[in-house]
């Protein structure tokens, strides 16, 4: 397979944390990617709205997270610009039309994998992209039955392939970090790079 190899790591990033950054680094190390794009959602279809910062604010926090991440990590703002509920299939179709010849792979934790068949047009997703899944501490390793999805040991660049990444070994969740920040905004909740924590405090977020 020829063309650029691009990983997509989606999420609300509310707030972005060390687990996200570690997952991105694992993907870059093990998937032979040209780049890894963080894709912040406008509104997630999979979780109730937790409230908190708006899209532009979450984008600034993500920029703080990636300040020292290197030039192969960047932010894809397509979902924020599109607005409304963010569906992965819509994003993949838009990206495929915009950048023909690019090979796409979705990077996710194992907690997301089991629910993949319930995503909008799931079979179309695996027709457009591959999957790289990192075991998440405490999450079951359940691989769903989905037509077109096939296991591999190494990503060839083809869509529909899926493979395991190493675990991040970090049991971090944005929900937990929001609760810790709300409980005591002066304490370090753990799991946030200094740049992100400084931005949260300077903008008085999650308090």
Instruction: Supply the pLDDT for residue 116.
Output: 94
- Per DSSP, the three-state class of 107 is strand
pLDDT exceeds 90 at position 134: yes
- Please report whether residue 205 resides in a domain: no
Position 31 in a domain: yes
Percent of the chain's residues with pLDDT above 70: 98
Buried b / exposed e along 187-204 (16+ C-beta atoms within 10 A): eebebbbeebbebbeeee
Residue 18 belongs to domain spanning:
5-198
Q: What is the pLDDT of residue 45?
A: 86
Structural element, H or E, at residue 161: strand 161-164
- What is the pLDDT at residue 16? 97
Q: How far, in Å, CA of 107 to CA of 133, rounded? A: 6
- The pLDDT value recorded for residue 1 is 45
**Which has the minimum average pLDDT: 56-70, 129-143, 144-158?**
129-143
Rounded Cα distance, 161 and 155, in Å? 7
Could you read off the pLDDT of 70-98 as tens digits, one per residue?
Answer: 899 999 999 999 999 999 999 999 999 99
pLDDT score, position 186: 86
Report the domain count for the chain.
1
Assigned domain for 77 exists = yes
Q: What is the per-residue pLDDT across 150-199, written as a single tens digit (0 to 9) for each?
A: 999 999 999 999 999 999 888 889 999 999 999 998 899 999 999 999 99
Q: What is the CA radius of gyration of the chain?
A: 17
Question: What's residue 2's pLDDT?
Answer: 57
User: In a 10 Å sphere around its CB, with 0-12 CB exposed, 13-18 middle and 19+ buried, how is residue 57 labelled?
Assistant: middle
Q: What is the structure's pLDDT at 185?
A: 81
pLDDT at 139 over 80: no
Q: Residue 160 belongs to a domain with what CATH number?
A: 3.40.50.620
Distance CA 163, CA 151 (A): 6
Q: What is the pLDDT of residues 7-18, one digit of tens each?
A: 999 999 999 999
Q: Is the pLDDT of residue 51 over 80?
A: no
Residues 140-158: what's their mean pLDDT?
92
Asked if 169 and 137 count as a contact pair (C-beta separation under 8 A), the reply is yes
Tokens found for residue 115: 């629910």
| pLDDT over 80 at 66, yes or no | yes
């Amino acid at each position: 397979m020829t063309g650029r190899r691009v990983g997509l790591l989606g999420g609300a990033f509310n707030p972005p944390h060390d687990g996200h950054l570690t997952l991105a680094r694992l993907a870059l190390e093990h998937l032979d990617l040209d780049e890894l794009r963080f894709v912040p959602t406008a509104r997630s279809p999979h979780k109730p709205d937790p409230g908190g910062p708006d899209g532009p604010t979450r984008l600034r926090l993500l920029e703080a997270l990636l300040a020292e991440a290197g030039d192969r990590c960047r932010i894809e703002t397509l979902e924020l610009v599109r607005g409304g509920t963010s569906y992965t299939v819509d994003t993949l179709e838009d990206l495929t039309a915009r950048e023909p010849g690019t090979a796409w792979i979705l990077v996710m934790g194992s907690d997301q994998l089991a629910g993949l068949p319930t995503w909008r047009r799931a079979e179309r997703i695996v027709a457009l992209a591959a999957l790289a899944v990192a075991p998440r501490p405490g999450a079951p390793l359940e691989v769903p039955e989905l037509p077109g999805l096939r296991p591999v040991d190494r990503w060839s660049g083809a869509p529909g392939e899926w493979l395991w990444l190493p675990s991040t070994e970090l049991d971090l969740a944005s929900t937990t970090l929001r609760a810790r920040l709300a409980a005591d905004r002066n304490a370090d909740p753990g799991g946030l790079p200094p740049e992100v924590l400084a931005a949260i405090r300077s903008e008085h977020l999650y308090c």
